[in-house]
Homo-oligomer: A and B are copies of this chain.
Amino acid sequence: MSGQKHKTIRDVASLARVSTATVSRVLNGTGTVRPRTAERVQQALTQLGYVPNGWAQAMAVGNGINLMGMVVPDIQNPFFAAIYAGVSEEVRSHGMIIWMANSGDDPAQERTELYSLQRYRPHGIVLTPTHLTENLAVIEKIPTPVCLVDRRLAVDQWDLVLIDNKHGARQAAKTLIEAGHRDVAILAGPQDTTPGRERFEGFREVLQEEGLALPPAYVGLGDFRESSGYRIGRELLSLDHPPTAIFSCNNLMTMGLLQAIQATPGASLGESVSVIGFDDIPISTFTTPPLTVVSRPMKEMGIQAGRLILDRMDHPTRAKETIILMPHLVIRGSERLAAAKPRV
């Protein structure tokens, strides 16, 4: 039911007719307690359904609870969900639990979330910052190990787990061109984030190297959300001279883009337009043709971040470490039009 209050160690102590210290000893297996007494305490414990108060314990012991904080732009995004899974896997063995918070990619909200998180004194924080500079001062003040994931900050002072975005984008661009495409568009992410910028750069570089033009109309600036993928997808496809291939810079925008293709009369994946997406998504094997994507070791990123934080907890002064993981292309067919002949 719900009326009662939680029992305290004092309730247990008085029921078992011992001092709170003895109950505590039984609970934690510290010190020595006579079997007879321990038995009485155990009985009181189960009879009352006592569960120790975690905060009080943490305060008494003085080193907080085994809490790991995590602040990411969007928990619902499978990419961050996978990072969560990785961090979780890595720290679980240390008896840690994870406190997830959502910054909504908004610096103000990020500030709020970092603040409320710190109120509960986590042992470390895994952070995907929303902005290069906006919250630098706040983050610098955090007296707890911080590990940045997926995005840098303007100051290079923290442990870092990154993806070689440029490399991934270059592979995508090259693959599209090798598949015969000349009119290649990009559905880019926000240019004030590292992933957004780096993927755009890699893409543009390849086009330049191959001597292909990138007209302004073929550059769609999205916000990494599904809605912008749809909107920009519709725009690109309704151009007088629509692109024959689109590189979409993240998973959610790819979802939107695919819907835009379905919604545009005459447009058809693999028939009139090719797509390569950045990040694998659950649907990628179910489209026709299946989706070619740049895939990153998402869970591995979380594992590394967790490892870096745990490591820094033990060695607070070691030099910052930067881990750059490589994405790889998963070719499934959507990079190529049914009609097109490979250049070979």
Contact = CB atoms under 8 A, between A and B. Distances in A.
A317 interface: yes
Contact of A143 (B6, B65, B259, B262): B6
A265 interface: no
Contacts of A57: 119
A264 interface: no
A285 B312 contact: no
A316 interface: yes
A49 interface: yes
Interface residues of A, number: 52
Nearest to A140: B1
A2 B285 contact: no
Contacts of A255: 282
A144 B7 CA distance: 12
A141 to B, nearest CB: 4
A108 interface: no
A120 B259 contact: no
Interface string A224-266: 0000000000000000000000000000000100110010000
A85 B76 contact: yes
A293 to B, nearest CB: 14
A59 B120 CA distance: 13
Contact of A54 (B6, B76, B119, B143): B119
A121 B55 contact: yes
A282 B283 contact: yes
A3 B146 CA distance: 11
Contact of A2 (B5, B115, B145, B259): B145
19 contacts: A2-B144, A2-B146, A2-B312, A4-B143, A5-B143, A6-B121, A6-B143, A53-B59, A54-B55, A54-B121, A55-B56, A55-B120, A56-B59, A57-B119, A59-B59, A97-B99, A99-B99, A100-B100, A286-B287
**Which 7 pairs between the two chains have the least Cβ-Cβ distance?**
A55-B55, A54-B119, A49-B141, A283-B283, A4-B143, A51-B118, A2-B145
